[in-house]
Amino acid sequence: MGVWIANVTNLVSYDVSLQWDPRVITAVSISDSGTIFQSLPHFTLLLTTGLGFARAAETLLGTGVNVTGSSSQPLFFVQLSFIAFGQSPLSITSDTLVDLSLSAIPHTDINGFASTPPQAQAGLVHWKAKPVAPPTRGSSSLWSRLPVT
């Protein structure tokens, strides 16, 4: 799952926390590979996961470095795994985006949702084995080698 940003001006730093139901989902990994800051000089302040949460914080290095653009680009990625059937909100619980003047960038968060298909329901079917009759005369099985009386 990626946390993406769009229509940003002069972004130099971010700190984002995500939350989900730990009874349904667990974090496998968190990464900033292939993200908006990857090709720029930056420092990763925090990249961590725990029981029901993930948090990432990075800052660009240098005074002339910032990110501006209207296309969507990822800030970081979290690989999640279902550990139970069910559903869970994927919520941004706190976030700060910082511009060149070290001011918070106003923005709108869009949360997500994850769910598994319903658990399969199966009932036990009782059946009675059908008796197998011995083959008739002339068939090619062990039965045909036995004398028929």
Which helix (H) or strand (E) segment holds residue 131: the answer is none
Q: What is the pLDDT of residues 50-66, one digit of tens each?
A: 999 999 999 999 877 78
Sign, CA torsion 43/14/36/66: negative
Structural domains in the chain, CATH included, are 2-114 (2.60.40.680)
CA dist 113 and 110 (Å) reads 10
pLDDT, tens only, 91-144: 999 999 999 899 999 999 999 999 988 777 766 666 666 666 666 665 555 544
Say if residue 148 is exposed, middle or buried (CB neighbours under 10 Å; 0-12, 13-18, 19+): exposed
Any residues with CB less than 8 A from the CB of 90 and at least 6 apart, and which? 1, 18, 19, 20, 111, 112, 113, 114
The pLDDT tens digits for 9-38 are: 899 999 999 999 999 999 999 999 999 898
Taking the whole predicted model, whether its pTM rises above 0.85 is answered as no
